[in-house]
Chain A
Amino acid sequence: MQKIGVFVCWCGSNIAATVDVARVVAAAKGIPGVAFAADYKYMCSEQGQQLIADSVRQYGLNRIVVCSCSPRMHEKTFRACAERCGVNPYQVEIANIREQCAWILKDKEQATRKAIALMKAAVAKVQLDTPLQPGESTVVKRALVIGGGIAGIETALDIADAGYKVDIVEKEPSIGGKMAQLDKTFPTLDCSACILTPKMVDAAQHPNIRIFTYSEVEEVRGFVGQFEVDIRKKARSVKADICSGCGICTTKCPSRKADSEFDAGLRKRGAIYIPFAQAIPKVPVIDRAHCLKFQTGKCGVCSLVCPNKAIDYTQQDEIVTEQYGAIVLATGFDLLDLKHFGDLGWGRSKDIITSLQLERLTNAGGPTEGHLVCPSTGRQPKKVVIVSCVGSRDTSGRGKTYCSKICCMYNAKHAMYIREKYPDTDVTVFYIDVRTPGKGFDEFQRRAVEEYGVHYIRGLVGKVDVHKDGTLHLTASDLNSGRQLEMEPDLIVLAAAVTASPDARKIAGLVTASIDNDGFYVEAHPKLRPVESPTAGIFLSGMCQGPKDIPETVSQAGAAAVKAIGLLSKDKLLTNPCTARCNEAVCSGCQSCVKVCPYGAIEAVEKTVITLEGKKEQRSVAVVNEALCQGCGACTVACPSGAMDLKGFSNQEIMAEVDALCW
């Protein structure tokens, strides 16, 4: 016999101030099947849960309805509580009378009536709830990290140090990411390569880490604990096992048309190239689109000069398939394409560059060996203008609506580099606001002004004219004095907005992770679960989740590693029992469900079924793989015959809820 307990939470004044909880309790007591109803100030507290446990014991309750906050908040809490006192956790229903009632309504009478209606709907559903048992699945003790920048490297090292195997997949020919391109790092101005390179080497030499560079994730199957991933190792056209990394091929290559990605287009590279001196692995790659051998069939110089005969023009892409328990996304960021910023001179002069290009111009490993010059003349600039917020905080559609977060700090850093090395060069930073929260950050920016004599002008640059002789002329605003001013700088640096990596969207599709409108991965909870994707077993590390600086990226990378380790350390995982179920007698085998299932959990199988008339029949019906099914319910909607149903959310249960609301 059904004995339902209804527990109404006040949530302090969150619910009780708007909903008359006593009336909800009284209404519950009048429903057939309800054996007990009570209210309490904080139902989620230890005392609140004790009240539930005591009532179960005293009244022999076997189903529980909690009228409280959203099930996203405390469904787990109350299910666990039910399990402890012998009630099946799937016979617990939450009526959300906080977010969907108390918080959105002002009138107490209206809110109370809605709360009663929601309670009745939950009682109607709980009456039909069947006890469900979660299954078990095993965990593969290996993690996959997608992206080999500082975020991916740090996450991989932490997981590997904990004793688990990790694979890093990086699409570029070397790991290192954007941090490898930087000159110095704020707020301490230590050399970026000096702190990154040892970590790259650690990752390369770690016995638990395998690195797939020049590789991309092609396909992801499976689910938390048992992902199966196809990795495409793109053909390098160089045999990595016998190449010694001497680099002779790269110096002899006659093709010099391709822009060096690593030097942000400031230098040309050969068709066969090693991106930078500290690259890991130090194995060149042939860019086939620019290689004369591949394009015209005539050349082969690299093959002739290679002392180890490591060049292989016939190499093919290779697909590696591997099992993983957890996947960490660390796909990093990109800079906004400034094609819509022609008014700031972008694309019209070589002396108008991005901040990343400036990093390469001041970096000792860069195209000018660290000498800051105007790319058009090769001469040292005497007047440099840095423009903040190029494409950031932009709601006009040309840029991004968010603040890119790191630019204020790196602008100060760039201004300091320049003033430090070239005291006779004047540096002016145009800004809207200087945003420098962080340990030692504001002090850093003030040093740029107070010790290095950098001019900060509140206002932005409006228009840049490029004269026929190549000189630059700009108009800007000086908001503090309310005037327009003009300048003729030698070099203009545009602090372009940070954007999500364009690959993030593709990878989100492969692993079914959520992304926001800007292409950044969405975290499971903005405050309490910041490094987890809502999809189980997928974790987020670094800039792929939103703009952040290196210290923050490293902290998040560590946090993502801990979450992944927490998953890998489990021997078994409980699976969600709320999966789809097919009523084979009714299923017509139309396969509509197969087409809509985002997890590939349904297949059509030829088998003997018993029809509604009780006859045996051989035909094709849908069969659900419960291990893959995530319980999204898409199939139940697509099914034209009503054969598909979702355990825990059956059509019957949903209709009972609707009926209860319509009383």
Chain B
Amino acid sequence: MSFNTNLEEVSQGVITQAKKLGCSDVSVVVTRNHTRLIRFANNLVTLSSSVVDTSIQVYVAHQTRRAVGVTHDTSPQSLERFVARLVDSASRLAPSDDYVPLPSGPFEYPEEQNYDKRLEGEELVEHAHQAVDAALKAGAKRVAGSLQSLVRRVHVSTSAGVAGDDSSTKILLNVRAFTEDNASGHGLSCASFLSEFNPEKAGRAAGEYAKMAESPRQLEAGAYDVIFTPTVVANILPLAEAASAYLIQSGLSYFSDQLNQQVGVETLNVWDYGVYKGGLGGRRLDDEGVPTQKTEIIAKGVFRNMLHNSSTAKKFGTKTTGNAGIISPQPNTVVFGEGDSTLEEMIQETKKGLLVTNNWYTRFQNLRTGEYSTLPRDAAFSVVDGKIGEPVAGFRLSDSVLRQLKSIHLISKTRNWVEWWEVETPTLAPYMLIKDVTATVAY
């Protein structure tokens, strides 16, 4: 199937076949991605790649028995075999209580899409060079990173009279800069529109952080007030993921049993958007063809809404929020509400604290209680009596999400888009100052 084959025609063919095989419900999501990638390390491009890929996700319900599959093997004969195998798999299962008829269309979809035609042909190498040069100019000795552009077209059709399209583009830069003594700094630039993309700024931030982080001292274990950058907030507080009704009903979320409860400070607000205008990615229809929407997840610190597909909505006696995932609802675009503080105010407010600019390897000890630990990565600094102090290293942060949500002291007005290795869902996140976070060190 070429990149320009008629998506609706392919979808209708799948629906017709599955219905002939006895399925009552069929949804088809055809996704076409053109991904270009530049990877660089030690100031040099290490790989340039271009991948064109079409995938077809098919959901079938056969007498309430359900199966879902994705195939990247899109020749007509292979697709026909795949659908037959999928229907056969479903028909062999026990009837499912989770079965709900697919939502009936047609629907009207919002106009808004985060799509920039210029990204269809944009050459990436020069942007990578800009990031590298800016980091070197800021004092780094070597620079590594990845720069990816994505042009995506999605078509959703269902047996319930739904048909809709979505298009989106992204350009994502993740850059790390290193100084002579291997101190490192991190920068991101994530956008759907080329006009919002700034590789030079990301490279410069990485270089400047790296330079500031030279010759760190070993941090002492203890409790600290910690200022987290948007990059870290988006990773350690995956609140929209935890709001998935599937995870909540499975008992694998710290938001289980917390609906309408005060889970955080009153200044905390979080939404899921289908498409955030001018933001990063998103979709205007979900995998069941339902229009996506703005859903209030946390309002003034109260956990207000779970994210639903039609199946979880039935379980909880409510309506879908347009977040299908056939099995588990998924967030589209996470948006933290802005606060009224600034990074400078946060620093001034802090007597004994830390500024953590990046992290990785967040692992949960207990998914239900939200206890986790994570490792700061790249530049981190002590903050003493309202000023940035010396760089620090060699520690991890060990805490619980639920405790942290109630210990947020300040939220910044500035928010940045985050999507990279450690944050899969596009997230608009602020800086946060969180009180009394436990830092531990290795023996």
Is B a genuine binding partner of A?
no
Residues of chain B touching chain A, judged by Cβ–Cβ distance below 8 Å, are none
A: residues with CB less than 8 A from B are none
